[in-house]
Amino acid sequence: MLNKYARAFFTRVLTPFAAFLIRRGVSPDTVTLIGTAGVVAGALVFYPMGEFFWGTVVITLFVFSDLVDGNMARQLGRSSRWGAFLDSTLDRVADGAIFGGFALWYAGGGNDNVLCAVSIFCLASGQVVSYTKARGESIGLPVAVNGLVERAERLVVSLVAAGFAGLHKFGVPGIQYLLPIALWIVAVGSLVTLIQRVVTVRRESAEAEAAAAGQGARGSEAAK
């Protein structure tokens, strides 16, 4: 849902900014690299210190680069396999940094091994969820399922919760519990999404093999 509606909305909003960068001679790849560097820095500098509010502010400023670079490429008419590969690869780096930052906090100052493990599970499951779709498509299957919690949902739920949880340092009581709740939601949702994609790939694979066997049988029959 977020991929369909929120992405379309922010793409329209950010189009003038993308056009401005193009006029300044900035390339889409540069925006991708700077955006990823900003997200990684925000996550690995602020989150391990428990500075969730400021870390989320920094990350949010840079995370929109994921929409800006694609917008720029479309305006330039230069969408390429390399650009898509770079964007997808660095998305995984950024996601890993965010959940890695949470894990470092709970392994250190947060002093909660269970939430550290949940954060690591969110990191790993998010990577595997993306891999299942990429691997399924690479063997010729459509992987026609969105899943319960995709990248957009993982980021929005986690970052919004982290940002609000950070308000605890400004004196807002009880709000720090939003982040643990969000991490559990993302962990369970990612597991459900992974199962959905594995089941879909299994079904599509069986259908493809059955169709291929049927064509082979018809070809043999026609040759007689």
Compute the distance between CA of residue 82 and CA of residue 125 in angstroms, rounded to an integer. 25
* Residue set of the binding site for a CDP-1,2-diacyl-sn-glycerol: 29-32, 70, 74, 80
* Residue set of the binding site: 29-32, 66, 69-70, 74, 80, 87, 91
**Mean pLDDT across the chain, nearest whole number?**
90
Compute the distance between CA of residue 94 and CA of residue 80 in angstroms, rounded to an integer. 21
The catalytic residue positions are 91
Res 14: pLDDT = 84
* Residue set of the binding site for Mg(2+): 66, 69, 87, 91
- For 84-131, write each residue's pLDDT tens digit: 899 889 999 999 999 999 999 999 999 999 999 999 999 999 999 999
Compute the distance between CA of residue 165 and CA of residue 172 in angstroms, rounded to an integer. 9
Residues 123, 156, 193, 182, CA torsion sign: positive
What is the secondary structure of 166-201 as a DSSP string? GGGGGT-TTGGGHHHHHHHHHHHHHHHHHHHHHHHH
pTM of the model: 0.88
pLDDT along the chain (224 residues), means of 10: 63 86 92 95 97 96 85 84 89 96 97 98 95 92 89 92 96 95 97 95 93 72 62
Compute the distance between CA of residue 42 and CA of residue 52 in angstroms, rounded to an integer. 10
